[in-house]
Structure 1
Amino acid sequence: MSSQPQEAPGPDVLRPRLPSPLQEVADDRFGRYGVGLVLKRDDLIHPELIGNKWRKLAPNLRAARGRTVLTFGGAYSNHLRATAAAGRLLGLPTVGVVRGHELADRPLNASLARCAADGMRLHFVDRSTYRHKTEPGTLAAVLRAADAEEAYVVPEGGSNAEAVRGCRALGTELRDRADVVALACGTGGTLAGLAAGLSPGQRALGVPVLKGGFLGSETRALQERAFGGPRGAWSLGERFHFGGYARTTPELEAFAVDFEQRHALPVERLYVAKLLYGLTVLAAEGAFPRGSTVAAVITGRPFP
């Protein structure tokens, strides 16, 4: 009597903490302007699949249905780390396509070493190939070279239609809880889903952590693929990238340390610090009407 192979367990067996907590904080940098600040603690959803990583990965892991999951990232990608952790926790094979062929000949940094320890097979590609990774011919060649032609492919940052629909729940959880809901953005997927889930009268504010001005078109395209057209009110505050991805300054570091001390909250530097800094500047500029409430989505925390 033959037996059918068992499908791998879905992500819900990991018991995420949903909805994530909403934490009010007293901060005079907002209070003096009559603005309330609350923190949407998505960093507490799961100890290893943190924040928007859970919201974007969970629907993709369900869609993978036990197949190898292949995805993309740079040498310090939080998305690669989260995907590798999901693979270990759920018994799924994972492959990480890493930007920078020259890195293959170097010792792994702490981030990639963690991915490898979690069972992710790393495949390095040159930067030109990486730039063209979404083109069908290049993607097919990468899959062949990585010996992963049957893999379920998740794009860089995890942002695809499945992820955007998964992030809509973030907006649903925040309906009528704030006038403005703000988050730091890399690829636009979380912003696209968040805006779709909010109530009429609420708006989402994205703070890009990369420079280049491309995120508006990316977010619109993601909403088109996920929902067939635009959803919700959203805008971008593009002044707070501090020079680009993974770039920081002494001013930003000092701000992050101060925020941690004020509110006993570990502040992730590449995304969350830029968001919180940007909100304090906007509050001082009068961008939020007196009597309004701003919710800051804490999408991650510092990795050890």
Structure 2
Amino acid sequence: MQFQTQHIPIQEITLDFPTNIRLFIKREDLIHPFVSGNKFRKLKYNLAEANNEKQTTLLTFGGAFSNHIAAVAAAGKIHGFQTIGIIRGEELIHKIDTNSTLQFAIENGMQLKFVTRENYREKTSKVFLAQLRQEFGRFYTIPEGGTNSLAVKGCAEIITENEKEFDTICCAVGTGGTISGICKGAYSHQKVLGFPALKGDFLHEEIKQYVSTTNWELINDYHFGGYGKVTDELIQFINNFKTQTKIPLDPIYTGKMLFGIIDLIKNGHFAKQNRILAIHSGGLQGIDGMNTKLQKKGKTTII
């Protein structure tokens, strides 16, 4: 995918930090309006491989408000692929009209197939994939969240010579592909901190499939209850952060990461002189879906 990645801005965040700490954000969210951040990075070499294999259809998997589903739909339209999305939850077929992510996918030409949560758990099985090929014909499979070895290769390119001056690199963690790539791309003096959006310690093993280095650590204290869960405190933080910095954050990934980074700074986690770089991995399309949920509950929405 030939999008502009040569001059991605790195912005310093000038909040009330200790004098020995400086925080910057790499605005990967600005790569493209719809295929941004880590989604661009993960799809770059997968789409190239699909072309090499003379594939014309991409098939992938995701939930109701999946950034990945939206990105694959948009990338497919841009690059001339047919796209198929296998969506977790049969009940969602009746909720398309109120789901901005699924509407976006359809508008970009993606064919959606809704499956039960039980069937969805079989998404990597040979039997399930064979059934899908019988139904849809030949296709190139992209895993849920986009993570595979080609995705990791793409995410390694997030770190360039421009990022060499930083001591700590921070990123949000979903399926583990982004942090795996960043670990591969990081310089020997850099520590990589990942902020999982999900509860549980299973991600260590996922990441170790791709990474043999020990330059990384997962910070598991800022998932706010688990994937897709938010609190009033988190929403207030995201809104205050945008007001102060003009940088939007999503509530699933980057909002939790920045909350965690700033909380660690305030609590003296970074004791020595430290230049911290947070990777803004995009995901902003998910704000509309979260706001719909918040409105139904009479809660403050994301600005």
Normalization by structure 1: what TM-score? Answer: 0.89
- Seen in structure 2, the aligned counterparts of structure 1 residues 41 and 295 have a Cα distance that, compared at 3 Å, is same
| Deviations 1:124-158 (CA, angstroms, capped at 9, x unpaired) | 1111111121121222223323x13x100000000
Q: Answer yes or no: is 1:76 the counterpart of 2:58.
A: no
Equivalent in the alignment of 2:34: 48
> How is 1:285-296 mapped onto 2 (pairs within 5 angstroms)?
285-296=267-278
Q: Deviations over 1:143-182 (max 9, x none)?
A: 323x13x100000000000000111111235542211100
1:22 positional shift:
1.2
RMSD: 1.5
Does the aligned pair in 2 maintain the 1:196–1:232 contact within 8 Å? Answer: no
**Displacement of 1:266:** 1.2
Q: Does 1:61 align with 2:47?
A: yes
Inter-CA distance 174–236: structure 2 relative to 1 (3 Å threshold): farther
Q: Residue 96 of structure 2 contacts residue 102 of structure 2 at CA under 8 Å; is this kept in 1?
A: no
Matched residue type, 1:24 = E
Alignment of 1:254-269 (within 5 A): 254-269=236-251
Secondary structure of 1:97's counterpart equals: strand
Paired position in structure 2 for 1:137: 127
8 Å contact from structure 2 (residues 61, 145) kept in 1: yes
Quote how far apart the aligned CAs of 1:280 are: 1.1
* Match of residue 34 from structure 1: 20
Q: Give how far 1:16 is off.
A: 2.2
User: Matched residues in 1 for 2:266 and 2:101: separation?
Assistant: 36
Secondary structure at 2:35's aligned position in 1? Answer: coil
From 160, 165, 168, the counterpart of 1:180? 168
Whether 1:281 aligns to 2:267 is: no
Unaligned runs of 5+ in 2: 289-303
Indicate yes or no: 2:253 matched with 1:271. yes
Deviation per CA, 1:177-200: give whole Å up to 9, x if none: 211100111000000000111111
Unaligned segments of structure 1, at least 5 residues: 1-10, 224-229
Give the whole-Å Cα distance in 1 for the aligned partners of 2:263 and 2:225. 17
The separation in 1 between residues aligned to 2:121 and 2:200, in whole angstroms, is 15
Deviation at 1:26, TM superposition (A): 1.1
Select which of 84, 106, 126 maps to 1:116.
Answer: 106
Q: 1:250 aligns with which of 223, 232, 242?
A: 232
Contact 1:200/1:232 (<8 A) preserved: no
Secondary structure in 1 matching 2:209: helix
Q: Does 1:99 find its partner at 2:88?
A: yes
SS in 2 for 1:36: strand
Alignment-derived partner of residue 171 in structure 1: 159
> How much does 1:107 deviate?
3.6
Secondary structure, aligned partner of 2:171: strand
* Structure 2 SS opposite 1:69: strand
Q: In structure 1, what is the Cα distance between the partners aligned to 2:95 and 2:243?
A: 37
Task: Give runs of ≥4 in structure 1 deviating > 6 Å.
Answer: none
- Distance in structure 2 (CA, Å) of the matches to 1:102 and 1:133: 18
Secondary structure of the equivalent of 1:163? helix
Asked whether the 8 Å contact 2:198–2:223 carries over to 1, the reply is yes
The alignment's TM-score, normalised by the length of structure 2, stands at 0.89
Q: Measured at CA, do residues 21 and 139 of structure 1 come closer, stay the same or move farther in structure 2, by a change above 3 Å?
A: same
Helix, strand or coil: the match of 1:82?
A: helix
